[in-house]
Amino acid sequence: MSATRRSADGFALQVMVGLCLIWGVQQVMIKWAAPDIAPVMQAAGRSGISALLVGLLICWKGGWDQVGTTWRGGLLAGALFGLEFFFIAEGLQLTTAAHMSVFLYTAPIFTALGVHWLLPSERLRPVQWLGIFLAFVGIAVAFAGGVSWDNLDHRMLMGDALGVLAGASWGATTVVVRASRLSEAPVTLTLFYQLIVGFVGLLLIAILSGQVTHVSLTTVAVASVLFQGLVVSFFSYLTWFWLLRRYLAANLAVFSFMTPLFGVTFGVVLLGEELSLNFVIGAVLVLLGITFVSAEQWVRRRLRKALGQP
């Protein structure tokens, strides 16, 4: 029988703030180290490091006995995970870390759409459909011009599109975890599937594309890969999957709007990235849409109160 998942509480909020801070700086680290190590190699390296650590953790705590019933979902989740980071790696070579942060975190929209069709307990309500509409309008507005209304930057546009595809891949990964036997598997095993399949796939892509040779072990490169492997892929993902087993996915997703805010801020402050007006407007619409989707009950209460309804 599936465990009962509850609505997010104050503890979940505090944990999500920390996770969003970590995830927000992630894109900046990848972009910062890109001249020294190809982003796809960073993604492969981080996945390899954390897969080793998670594998050791499973050997210690157990969990291998469930491979026989979960490997199909695990392979699919791992393939989607690797695809997500391939899109991130390629996209960051074309667009800014700030843009990637916003478009990547459209993932809750795709998660909500997926669970709507697969899980009767999480059907979308009218306010959530409005949120999805606002989010996609925001994406369209942000795509309307790369750096200004008068100068469409096709490279940035392609990078932004890859960011949306990364968000869709992440959302699909969450749906697979929620709708398969992985939802009741140990979080360590769920994460291991994603990391090991992602590592193999990303390394293969790096070899076939010749990016495997784009590696210079500078301080920045090593720091970036270690941060991603130890802090992001190991610590933060274990924490994320632990939360997913205890709280409703749609409720958790509301807090993820903080991640692109952190990501945009770090991109501007640390990398000196500039933001165009259309991107700012589009990003606001995307975040508003995510809020409507993920905090539907809170939004409905506020709307009723504003209209003077009980």
**Which pLDDT tens digit goes with each residue over 15-64?**
888 998 998 899 999 999 999 999 999 999 999 999 999 999 999 988 89
Residue given tokens 């996945």 in the structure block: 47
Region of poorest pLDDT, from 123-132, 160-169, 189-198: 123-132
Percent of the chain exceeding pLDDT 90 equals: 41
Segment 77-81 shows an average pLDDT of 95
pLDDT in tens, 236-282: 988 887 887 788 766 676 677 778 888 888 888 888 888 878 888 88
Closest CA to 275 of 100, 113, 131, 121: 100
| Residue 1 pLDDT level (bands cut at 50, 70, 90) | very low
Does residue 61 or residue 13 have the better pLDDT?
Answer: 61
CA distance 282 to 289: 10
CA distance 65 to 63: 5
Taking CB atoms within 8 Å and a gap of at least 24, the contacts of 120-127 are 122/248, 122/249, 122/250, 124/293, 125/296, 125/300, 127/292, 127/296, 127/299, 127/300, 127/303
CA distance 64 to 188: 10
Segment 211-223 shows an average pLDDT of 92
Segment 175-183 shows an average pLDDT of 86
Per-residue CA distances from 66 to 53, 55, 185, 189 (Å) = 19, 14, 7, 8
Q: According to the model, what pLDDT value does residue 149 have? A: 47
| Residue 294 pLDDT level (bands cut at 50, 70, 90) | low
Counting Cβ atoms within 10 Å, is residue 67 exposed (0-12), middle (13-18) or buried (19+)? middle
CA distance 80 to 6: 27
Q: According to the model, what pLDDT value does residue 227 have? A: 95
Segment 194-210 shows an average pLDDT of 95
Arithmetic mean of pLDDT over the chain = 84
> Would the pTM count as exceeding 0.85?
no
Does residue 193 or residue 275 have the better pLDDT?
Answer: 193
| In contact, 307 and 284? CB cutoff 8 Å | no
Q: Does position 145 have pLDDT exceeding 60, yes or no?
A: no
